[in-house]
Structure 1
Amino acid sequence: MDATELQAISDTLMRIVTPDMTPKQLIKAARKEHPNASKRDIARAAFFSIIANADQDHGKAKNLQAFAIAERTQNGAE
């Protein structure tokens, strides 16, 4: 995944994430706009989004952090 794609997925995540979204719902919503993105790509974009946007929207950054950590932990156990 190149930097442009990472930024595009990150922007999508910031736009669509809500406090009540489950990781599965977030992945499904992100894949509507980025059908070729893997779960790993989406998790990486979530971490990128946290770093890039934490000072602008703390609530969304916190939701993405929970998602990214859950995905990273889940992928590490597989």
Structure 2
Amino acid sequence: MASIEELAKTLRGIAATGIKPKALLAAVRERHPEATKKEVVRAAFYAVAEGQSGDHSDLYDFALAERAVDDDEPVKAAKLPKKKNRKTKPSGEAAH
């Protein structure tokens, strides 16, 4: 298994302006076939946070876009159920 540092180094070498996330992930997996998507995303954040010289905006965009996605569908926010309005009538009133 490749370490996060090795994956980050590979990502920095591969990342180019305009590279699509799928292409970046495929290129990393060619060099590190045992790496999971989660490990690659963590390595992308690591490469950005490490702060070596250069523009790492593509790695940052990749890491943000892929961090919680297990497949190609975007993450959808769950709707919360509406609160029921439970107003009670005073005991002295009759129903109409």
Give TM class, smaller chain. Answer: 0.7 to 0.9
Per the normalisation by structure 1, the TM-score is: 0.83
d(CA) in 2 for partners of 1:77, 1:29: 24
Q: Deviations over 1:2-56 (max 9, x none)?
A: xx61000000000010111100000000001100111110000000000113x51
Which runs of no fewer than 5 residues in structure 2 stay unpaired? 77-96
- Mapped to 2, the partners of 1:73 and 1:38 lie a distance apart of 13
**Partner of residue 37, structure 1:** 35
The structure with higher relative contact order (CA 8 Å, sep 6+) is: 1
| Distance in structure 2 (CA, Å) of the matches to 1:36 and 1:73 | 20
- Give the share of equivalent positions with the same residue, in percent: 32
Q: Which residue of 2 aligns with 1:69?
A: 64
TM-score by length of 2: 0.68
Residue-pair matches, total? 73
Tell me, which stretches of 5 or more residues in structure 1 are unaligned? none
The structure with more radius of gyration: 2
